[in-house]
Structures are given as C-alpha cells and as structure tokens.
Amino acid sequence: MTFAVEHAGALEDIRANGQAVTFASTTMVYDAANDTSTSSTTSVAGYAMEVGGDPKQYERLSLKEEDTLTLLFAATTYGQLPALGSQVTWASKIYTVRHVKKVAPDGTAIIARVVVSR
C-alpha cells in the first residue's frame, strides 16, 4: 500500500499555507583510487510552515528555545526527508536540522516535523 495520494494532499496544503524551502547538506567524498576528496551536496526541496514546538524536546536536544523552530515539512518528492545537520533558510536566517520526526504509516514519509536551530 502506498500513501502517495495523502502525500500529494499534504504537500498541497502546506504549499498553500507555507513557503518553499530547500534543505542542503554537504559531505566530503573520498576517492581512494586518486587519493582525493571532493564535496558532494545533497538537497531536499519542498514546502514548510512553522508550527508549535515542544520545549521539552528542545531541552532534550540541548537547544535554546529562542533559537529553535519546528517546521511541518512536505518534500516535493514523495518519501524524501532532510538529513540531520542539513541547513535551511527560514525568515532570512540559516538554521540547522537537529531532529526529524516523520509521519510514515508504511515506512515512506508523507510529511515530517523538523526541528531546526541557529
């Protein structure tokens, strides 16, 4: 069973009430054959809207509430999620992903609550 229809509906709702975002993370990839490292950027695009966060969760993650947000996120591509440590610009400020809680009845993410901090 797939929840692609539910994802499409959630994406449309968040698109109508939120804003476009892209989560990006850069990692170094080592090529042993050439003994070189290059950077590789991975991005996940979609739409997000700020929702109420959980101060107790922020505390468990050792985050300051005044520097932390929770975003309800739906990826443009069904099933994609932002990686921990990836960055996103929200309200002209750069935030880093600290926690991702997906909603995935069949294991494939429909949406996620993404905790980000500065």
Label each residue of the chain as H, E or C: CCCHHHHHHHHHHHHHHCEEEEEEEEEEEEECCCCEEEEEEEEEEEEEEEECCCHHHHHHCCCCHHHEEEEEEEECCCCCCCCCCCEEEECCEEEEEEEEEEECCCCCCCEEEEEEEC
**pLDDT category of residue 28 using cuts at 50, 70 and 90:** confident
Structural domain count, the chain: 1
Pick 111 or 29 by higher pLDDT. 111
Residue 114 confidence (pLDDT): 98
**pLDDT category of residue 1 using cuts at 50, 70 and 90:** low
Pick 13 or 29 by higher pLDDT. 13
Domain range for 31:
4-117
Residue range 47-56, pLDDT digits in tens: 999 999 999 9
Residue 31 confidence (pLDDT): 87
Residue 41: give its domain's CATH number: 2.40.10
